[in-house]
Amino acid sequence: MASNIRRTEDLASGLALAALGAAAGAFIVASYPLGTARQLGPGAMPALVALILVVLGGVIAVRGLWEQGHGAGDGAGLDLRAALRPAGLILGAILLFGGLVDWLGVVPASAIAVIGSALASRRTRKREIAALAAVLAVAVPALFVGILGMPLRIWPTLH
């Protein structure tokens, strides 16, 4: 039985992203004070990011309902494995970054996260991945360590 959904991968990925944002938002709101408009609390920015994830996931899911598909299987039913692969790889890259940043440092962890998330798309090119990894390997420590003053290790420490 054929489905009326045009891009099942976008629909499933959007719903997964929105669900992730909703779960993270619920945890943040329950765990951290949001503060007031005059003095924001520690949960305000993470809650805003979670809300943005929900909105963007919703937009991606809605686009999946109406945009014309481009590949085999589009509109022919939901292939969960193909649909959740990109979302799973990107989420895995984010979690990998979080797990490696203290151990390896922010520069190698950023490069690994870029490479891991680039695997989510079959259309990325090796040169694009290398260029993005190089740019972010400079930009991430410059922003988070240099500008924001976060106490992150930039490179691994040899003992």
Band of the pLDDT at 94, cuts 50, 70, 90? confident
The mean pLDDT value for 135-152 works out to 87
Q: Is the pLDDT of residue 23 over 90?
A: yes
Do 75 and 2 form a contact (C-beta atoms < 8 A)?
A: yes
Quick: pLDDT tens for 28-81: 999 999 988 888 888 888 899 899 999 999 998 888 887 665 544 444 555 666
| Beta strand ranges found along the chain (DSSP E) | none
What does the block give as tokens for 92? 């895995």
The reported pTM is: 0.57
Helices (H) and strands (E) in the chain, counts: 5, 0
For 140, other C-beta atoms within 10 Å of its C-beta total 22
Residue at 55: amino acid letter:
V
- Helix, strand, or coil (residue 106): helix
